[in-house]
Amino acid sequence: MIALIPMRKESVRCRDKNTRLLGGIPLYHWIVEAAKISNRFDEIFIVSDFKPNYLLGCSWVKDETETGKGDINWIKQCFDMGLLGETFAILRPTNPFIKPYTIRYAVDHFLNPINFSYFDSLRSIAKVTEHPGKMWTVEGHLITPYDRPEEKRFTKPTQSLESVWKQTSGIEIIWTETLINYNNVAGEKIGYVVLYGNEGFDINTEEDFLLAESLIDRGLI
């Protein structure tokens, strides 16, 4: 299996986040090291629109696709280059705290012969802290419950509502056949691996970056 680590030089919500120092090293170094230590990948490719100063033993693929068009375009570029093989993983710098053993478990779970015909893809999830049953949309001067308004779930204690999970940028694993058959990296049967605690922490904004720095400074990572 190969691993793809995508990153762009520019970021809209968090400037230069992929190469900004976190804990004294560039952000993307965190996920590269976790991928290497997991010992589950035959080769690791950094896919970016610039050549990083440090490849850390990875191969570099120049992303020739247009910014803002989604993952499918650069993934298809890698497919056309013959890089993907039978199955591939996507690991993102924006999830720096995922552990090597979690990556190892995700790959082994996906490749377990019992699951061969069951999963089209797999992705990491984490439990939400803000429940959709307590969310609203604004319409003029009024608000409307975002989720199943007829049930008025916003009147119920949060702990009484069902568990809801969000996807994280930690890891995705995909059969190349899924990409070919569905023209996406999900398919229909999607497996999962749960990220607990700070492993599910994604850096998307300046505030997220500051919080990540704080977690490291306080010895929580």
Tens digit of each residue's pLDDT (9 = 90 or more) over 64-94:
988 777 899 999 999 999 999 999 999 999 9
Question: What is the predicted pLDDT for the residue at 118?
Answer: 86
Residue 35 has pLDDT above 80, yes or no: yes
Per-residue b/e over 14-43, b at no fewer than 16 CB within 10 Å?
beebbbbebeeebbbbbbbebbbebebbee
Confidence of residue 28 (pLDDT cuts 50, 70, 90): very high
Read off the pLDDT of residues 161-175 as tens digits, 9 standing for 90 and up: 999 999 999 999 999
The rounded distance, in Å, linking the Cα atoms of 84 and 75 is 9
63 φ/ψ angles, rounded to the nearest 5 degrees: -75, 110
Confidence of residue 127 (pLDDT cuts 50, 70, 90): very high
- Domains in the chain, start-ordered, CATH in brackets? 2-124+165-217 (3.90.550.10), 129-163 (no CATH)
Confidence of residue 22 (pLDDT cuts 50, 70, 90): very high
Residues with Cβ within 8 Å of residue 190, at least 6 apart in sequence: 119, 120, 121, 122, 123
Residue 2 has pLDDT above 80, yes or no: yes
